[in-house]
């Protein structure tokens, strides 16, 4: 199985100190524009990237694909509504590129500027006190273009669920089956909404790829995001797949990262809200915050938006959402997200539940309502997607970072060492 798409994968945890340098061309050499991917009308055959042959989900081709997701598959829009764009004031600073930090497990310091190339950054925006202090685009991404955010999508779905909880419309103690009777006989049936939100379900599903016999490969085939064998007779679409997932172990016994939890949560939000979660996202967050442009989700063969990893948007709109979180849900004189919902996220979950999952780069962290909580001195929390997608909210430094990237490796463990300390150093720098 050559490739699969839009699926958030946590790479096997490796000892950071023993991490070998990846054998990939660097960010400059793999620049998709310089390489001529999809350049020209039409591009020459050897420079084309397509969905059908899965060339779009190989490196370095995905350095183009991640900024052109909608050109490869059907999508559903997340409308910006009909109002004005909320301005992001600018106060750009020239002293950021030279901010220096020590990578996790590293032997020598690195500059902020060097970290961007090291992480195959496609775009990065830093807000400080609500103003753009830094903004850069590389490769195939432009300010007016959208980029796949992979599992950063989860944090949007989790926030919508947290809003419904804060409003008393969704009960986190109730079972999944109470909201989605279709899942009664699945492994999700007796899990609570909270188990799903915090990924403490016990399920027969392993978030690994590369093995065509894995549960994961079956999931990808079902949602139409990867190859189906000839005569495929399995579930067609995400919801049909979720009903086939079996229980393994017990719910509530610790954090295990599985994208299918988010897909169930998206289903619950859609059912409780009475319309697809994508429409709720538009009406409740994207439009009220004054997004610059519509975002969009990839959809499965029956039109279901991929809650676990299919959201694409402009970088500045991603930053606007981070800023909305930092501000406790209040923007433009309007309480868009209940403050209680954000406070609950920022407080995090039980660190003990998280510790057992063995994330070497995230000691003392927890996972709450589809967000990753650092519990550090700045109270930082983040949304994270494979290949380098991120929102980083640092409340104490009054800083929000939004980043898109197309790193050759999927798991955050590969680029946390040159990202998390860089964010911390920048926050400290901006506080000075």
The residues binding its own copies (CB under 8 A) are 38, 41-43, 48-52, 68, 70-77, 79-85, 143-146, 237, 239, 267, 270-271, 275-276, 282, 287, 292-294, 296, 299, 301-304
In angstroms, give the least distance from the CB of 159 to its own copies: 19
Q: Pick the closer one to its own copies by CB: 72 or 430.
A: 72
Question: In whole angstroms, what is the distance from residue 419 CA to residue 153 CA?
Answer: 19
In angstroms, give the least distance from the CB of 70 to its own copies: 5
Task: Identify whether 151 is a catalytic site residue.
Answer: yes
Q: Pick the closer one to its own copies by CB: 166 or 287.
A: 287
In angstroms, give the least distance from the CB of 74 to its own copies: 5
In angstroms, give the least distance from the CB of 293 to its own copies: 6
Question: In whole angstroms, what is the distance from residue 233 CA to residue 169 CA?
Answer: 37
What is the 3-class SS of the chain, one letter each residue? CCCCCCCCCCCCCCCHHHCCCCCCCCCCCCCHHHHCCCCCCCCCHHHCCCCCCCHHHCCCCHHHHCCCHHHCCCEEEECCCCCCCCCCCECCCCCCCCCEECCCCCCCCEEHHHHHHHCCEEEEEEEECCEEEEEEECCCCCCCCCEECCCHHHHHHHHHHHHHHHCCCCCCCCEHHHHCHHHCCCCCCCCEHHHHHCCCCCECCCCCCCCCCCHHHHHHHHCCCCCCCCCCCCCCCHHHHHCCCCECCCCCCCCCCCHHHHHHHHHHHHHHHCCCHHHHHHHHHHCCCCCCCCEEEEECCCCCECCCCCEEECHHHHHHHHHHHHCCCEECCEECCCHHHHHHHHHCCCHHHHHCCCCCCCCCCEEECCEEECCCCCCCEEEEEHHHEEEEEECCCCEEEEEEECCCCCCHHHCHHHCHHHHHHHHHHHHC
In angstroms, give the least distance from the CB of 16 to its own copies: 39
Q: Pick the closer one to its own copies by CB: 290 or 329.
A: 290
In angstroms, give the least distance from the CB of 290 to its own copies: 10
In angstroms, give the least distance from the CB of 320 to its own copies: 13
Q: Which two structure tokens, joined as six digits, stand for 201? A: 């379900």
Q: Pick the closer one to its own copies by CB: 25 or 235.
A: 235
Q: Pick the closer one to its own copies by CB: 38 or 193.
A: 38
Q: Pick the closer one to its own copies by CB: 154 or 384.
A: 154
Catalytic residue (choose from 151, 153, 155, 282): 151
Q: Pick the closer one to its own copies by CB: 66 or 255.
A: 66
**Catalytic residue list:** 151
């Amino acid at each position: 199985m050559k490739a699969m798409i839009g699926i958030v994968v946590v790479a096997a945890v490796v000892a950071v100190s023993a991490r070998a340098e990846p054998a990939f061309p660097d960010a400059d050499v793999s620049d998709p524009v310089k390489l001529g991917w999809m350049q020209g009308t039409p591009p020459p055959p050897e420079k084309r990237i397509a969905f059908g042959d899965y060339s779009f989900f190989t490196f370095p081709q995905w350095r183009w694909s991640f900024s052109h997701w909608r050109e490869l598959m059907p999508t559903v829009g997340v409308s910006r509504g009909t109002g004005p764009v909320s301005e992001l004031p600018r106060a750009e600073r020239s002293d950021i590129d030279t901010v220096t930090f020590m990578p996790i497990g590293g032997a020598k310091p690195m500059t902020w500027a060097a970290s961007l190339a090291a992480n195959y950054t496609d775009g990065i925006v830093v807000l400080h006190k609500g103003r753009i202090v830094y903004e850069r685009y590389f490769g195939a991404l432009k300010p007016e273009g959208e980029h796949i955010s992979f599992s950063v999508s989860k944090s949007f779905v989790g926030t919508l669920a947290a809003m419904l909880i804060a409003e008393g419309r969704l009960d986190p103690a109730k079972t999944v089956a109470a909201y989605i009777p279709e899942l009664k006989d699945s492994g999700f049936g007796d899990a609570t909404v909270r188990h799903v939100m915090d990924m403490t379900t016990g399920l027969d599903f392993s978030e690994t790829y590369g093995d065509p016999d894995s549960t994961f490969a079956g999931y990808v085939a079902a949602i139409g995001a990867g190859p189906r064998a000839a005569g495929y007779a399995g579930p067609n679409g995400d919801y049909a797949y979720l009903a086939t997932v079996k229980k393994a172990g017990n719910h509530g016994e610790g954090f295990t990262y599985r994208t299918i939890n988010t897909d169930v949560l998206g289903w619950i939000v859609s059912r409780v809200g009475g319309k697809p979660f994508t429409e709720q996202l538009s009406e409740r967050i994207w439009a009220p915050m004054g997004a610059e442009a519509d975002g969009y989700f990839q959809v499965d063969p029956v039109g279901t938006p991929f809650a676990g990893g299919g959201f694409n948007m402009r970088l500045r709109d991603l930053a606007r959402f981070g800023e909305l979180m930092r501000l406790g849900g209040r923007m433009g004189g309007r309480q868009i997200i209940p403050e209680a919902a954000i406070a609950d996220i920022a407080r995090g979950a039980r660190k003990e539940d998280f510790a057992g999952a063995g994330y070497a780069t995230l000691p003392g962290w927890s996972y709450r309502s589809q967000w990753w909580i650092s519990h550090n001195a700045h109270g930082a929390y983040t949304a994270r997607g494979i290949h380098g997608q991120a929102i980083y909210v640092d409340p104490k430094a009054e800083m929000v970072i939004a980043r898109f990237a197309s790193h050759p490796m999927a798991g955050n463990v590969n680029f946390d060492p040159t990202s998390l300390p860089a964010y911390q150093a920048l926050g400290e720098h901006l506080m000075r």
